Amino acid sequence: MFELRLICPEERVEAICDALDALDALSISVEDADADTDAEQALFGEPGMPPPASSWERSCVVALFGSEGAAQEAATLLVAQDFFEGCLIESVSAVPDEDWVRLTQSQFAPVEITPEFWIVPTWHEPPAGAQRVIRLDPGLAFGTGTHPTTRMCLRWVARHSMAGERVLDYGCGSGILAIGAALHGADKIDAVDIDEAAVTSTALNAEANGVTLAAGLPDKAQGEYGVVLANILATPLKVLAPLLCSHVADGGSLVLAGVLERQTAELQATYEPFIDLQVADTQEGWVLLVGKKKSGASSR
């Protein structure tokens, strides 16, 4: 493989990427050309909000080609275009051969939830002492156990009796919370997501773990559950408050994650008409909010 590296001002990035695509680049990535310097620019918005800009002031565009000739030819053609003005070719160089599969796999080690409960990728052996194990490889859907919000939910599941509970995993991603609940004795489990790829991942991951659950789009969630788990983000969790609370049975638990410490009071106020939420755990600036539904409490 050979990579062609270009530096482009913000307003040229889209045209250059389109041209590289038309020139049959095998992949194109865009990075901050000023990363790791004082001029580095953060490009993300508040959770649930769009980023403040779509590319950096100066972007480094990297395109991969199968041969040095193809990379050089692409560079020559780009330089001749009027939209290349303000851009420069930084280099055309060979990409050293690597075992990419092994490199990717090495980034995912087993994750300990409790000393007895682990998330283990299929290329690792479960650690000695692990009594409950979710076998899960990184895929298209969120939820490998490496994010603190997922870990806090799973720790809550491991520490509470799930035996015979009807459980709803709302925003299931990979299905990791639903599978965790099943391994801890939950009975009838529904796992729902707005993303169809997440629904497919959940069904496949459940099958691979020998777990029975029903995965589907959000309207698959029907009736009341003893435990409702939702690891989404503060903004959608606020919108979903009446719906999520309507699915919690009297005396049942609502477990919310994806909330930053500074968003705690706002979430508690939104849920207060339905369920009194308390901070049950915190990790790396994220909180786990948990509340029980009192019998007779309003839900809509």
Ligand X SMILES: C[S@@+](CC[C@H](N)C(=O)[O-])C[C@H]1O[C@@H](n2cnc3c(N)ncnc32)[C@H](O)[C@@H]1O
- Does residue 209 touch ligand X according to CB under 6 A? no
Task: Name residues contacting ligand X, limited to 108-147 (CB under 6 A).
Answer: 141-143
CB of 81 to ligand X, least distance (A): 39
CA atoms within 13 A on the CB side of 229: 32
CB of 243 to ligand X, least distance (A): 9
- Does residue 180 touch ligand X according to CB under 6 A? no
> Would you say 231 or 263 has its CB closer to ligand X?
231
Order of strands across the sheet that contains 286-292: 214-216, 189-192, 167-170, 225-231, 248-260, 286-292, 278-283
Give the contact letters, 258-277, x = binds to ligand X (CB under 6 A), - = no: x-------------------
> Contacting ligand X (CB under 6 A), which of 13, 20, 78, 172?
172
> Would you say 134 or 240 has its CB closer to ligand X?
240
Q: Which stretch binds ligand X (CB under 6 A): 6-14, 27-35, 91-99, 229-237?
A: 229-237
Q: Which stretch binds ligand X (CB under 6 A): 166-174, 204-212, 268-276, 288-296?
A: 166-174
The reply, when asked if residue 187 is annotated as ligand binding, is no
CB of 257 to ligand X, least distance (A): 7
The reply, when asked if residue 150 is annotated as ligand binding, is yes
- Does residue 47 touch ligand X according to CB under 6 A? no
- Does residue 177 touch ligand X according to CB under 6 A? yes
> Contacting ligand X (CB under 6 A), which of 68, 90, 195, 224?
195
β-partners of residue 112 are 118
Please give the angle made by the CA atoms of 162, 137 and 145, to the nearest 5 degrees: 50
> Would you say 16 or 153 has its CB closer to ligand X?
153
CB of 80 to ligand X, least distance (A): 43
CB of 130 to ligand X, least distance (A): 19
> Contacting ligand X (CB under 6 A), which of 198, 241, 287, 289?
198
Token pair 């009838």 is at which residue?
A: 188
Please give the angle made by the CA atoms of 212, 215 and 218, to the nearest 5 degrees: 145
The reply, when asked if residue 209 is annotated as ligand binding, is no
Judged by CB under 6 A, the number of residues near ligand X is 22
Please enumerate, as own/partner, the contacts of 211-216 that have beta carbons within 8 Å and a separation of 24 or more.
211/178, 211/179, 211/182, 211/183, 212/182, 213/175, 213/178, 213/179, 213/182, 213/189, 214/188, 214/189, 214/190, 215/172, 215/175, 215/178, 215/190, 215/191, 216/190, 216/191, 216/192
CB of 37 to ligand X, least distance (A): 31
- Does residue 242 touch ligand X according to CB under 6 A? no
**Residue positions forming the annotated binding site:** 150, 171, 193, 231
Residues that bind ligand X (CB under 6 A): 141-143, 150, 153, 169-173, 176-177, 193-195, 198, 218, 231-232, 236, 240, 258
